[in-house]
């Protein structure tokens, strides 16, 4: 049976343990995702406390990270989501995403509504991809794809 967490503390503490174990074992998020048999974005989010993992995936990553049965159980629970506490984020990388939404949020909203109508883009029926590509002008660029199902507003 699937169970839900209502206090984010346990999952947050487990995320700290996961990152420590990942670092000590010199593993990548991709290696953990490969073991879990799921996408790197989903597994990373799950291990950072934002998704529940299926039993087989939880066991696979726990084995690589040398986590106990309690961690396996906790990795399967539906978390209380939200990884950025209130206010403007202070971490520079997260802040830049916040800045992007501050600058382009209304543009994204206007374009989504113009092309799809009144509704939202799901963060549950969702895919995320992050790729590094060469910038023709020198250096590198980050290509981030947010792929969410459109859910129309339905009058009732």
Give tens-digit pLDDT for 25-73. Answer: 999 999 999 999 999 999 999 999 999 999 999 999 999 999 999 999 9
5 within 8 A of 77, measured Cβ to Cβ: yes
Examine the pLDDT at 151 and tell me if it is beyond 90.
yes
Examine the pLDDT at 15 and tell me if it is beyond 80.
yes
Could you read off the pLDDT of 81-100 as tens digits, one per residue?
Answer: 887 878 888 999 999 999 99
- Predicted local confidence at residue 149, as pLDDT: 97
Task: Give the mean pLDDT of the chain.
Answer: 94
Which residues are catalytic, by number? 96, 99, 122
User: Cα-flanking dihedrals φ and ψ of residue 15, to 5°?
Assistant: -60, -40
Q: Is 74 exposed, middle or buried (0-12, 13-18, 19+ CB in 10 A)?
A: buried
């Amino acid at each position: 049976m699937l169970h839900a967490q209502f206090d984010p503390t346990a999952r947050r503490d487990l995320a700290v343990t996961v990152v420590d174990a990942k670092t000590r074992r010199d593993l990548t998020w991709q290696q953990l995702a490969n073991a879990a048999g799921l996408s790197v974005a989903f597994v990373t989010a799950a291990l950072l406390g934002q998704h529940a993992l299926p039993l087989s995936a939880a066991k696979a990553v726990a084995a690589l990270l040398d986590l106990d049965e309690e961690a396996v159980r906790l990795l399967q629970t539906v978390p209380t989501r939200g990884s950025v506490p209130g206010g403007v984020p202070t971490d520079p990388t997260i802040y830049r995403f916040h800045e992007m939404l501050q600058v382009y949020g209304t543009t994204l909203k206007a374009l989504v509504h113009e092309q799809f109508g009144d509704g939202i883009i799901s963060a549950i029926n969702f895919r995320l991809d992050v790729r590094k590509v060469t910038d023709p002008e020198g250096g590198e660029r980050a290509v981030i794809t947010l792929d969410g199902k459109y859910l129309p507003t339905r009058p009732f």
